[in-house]
Amino acid sequence: MQTILITGAASGIGAATARLFHARGWAVGLLDRDGEALQCLADELVGAWFAAVDVCDEPAVQQALADFCGAHGGHLHVLFNGAGILRCGPFEQISLADQLLTVQINISGLLTVTHCAFAYLQATPQAQVINMGSASALYGVPQMATYSASKCAVRGFTEALELEWAVHGIRVGSLMPPFVNTPMVTGQGSRPPVMRRLGVHLDAEDIALAAWQQAQAPKVHRPISLQFGLLYWADQFSPSLLSRWVMRWLSRP
């Protein structure tokens, strides 16, 4: 049986991904800080394994991986790094504590889990890491500065590790959606101009489907939605000045 371990699994994209892979016969492992929500999801997904873990807590992550992968012959077919947080607003109005927490979870947490998972991925033929990226990694988004910076880091990490871990037979890629209708987005007190102008047209289930497609046919980056896909590919063949102009126009008051 193929296995997937999902961080940030208690709600939103992580939960939708867990439901989809479970429905398609995979052994699903769930990690999140919210133990109560995890328990509810695990009750829904019969046989799903779960542990309430902070992705930045290395010993706890190590133990969780040992427990889940140990139950499956030491193998891990897919690591889905879905844990992340978002704080919107002018940079100077968001507390430094929230800025640093964004970096800690979105970057340090992802690095911690990926580093701890290496031995299990290496032991598994055709293993993959799927990182939760973002359209905001294409060009920094005003009023999402620290979040954008964290996703730019995820993009660079993904590209580097895809090349580095090829020798081990491990594929590494990222999903790059624009705004998704999840509690992380809908819970924002105010929406940046970019979000208001582009709208929120994707649901968590759309990203779960993209994760499934990524697991079947890996890409380094998988832009999601026609709208962002066109912008992504235009950026590949145009000067960054164009992306800056588009972002400035979308972010106008």
Orientation angle between helical segments 145-164 and 96-103, nearest 10 degrees: 20
Tell me how crowded residue 59 is: count the other CB atoms within 10 A of its CB: 9
Residue 131 bridge partners (DSSP): 81, 174
Q: Is the dihedral of CA 35, 3, 70, 127 positive or negative?
A: negative
Largest CA distance in the chain: 55
Angstrom CA distances, 33 to 4, 7, 47, 115, 131, stand at 18, 9, 20, 19, 18
Is 139 a known active-site residue?
Answer: no
CA dist., res. 62 & res. 104, Å (int):
18
Element spanning 23, H or E: helix 12-23
Which residue is catalytic, options 120, 139, 147, 232?
Answer: 147
What's the rounded Cα separation, in Å, for the pair 53 and 27?
19
Which of the residues are catalytic?
Answer: 147
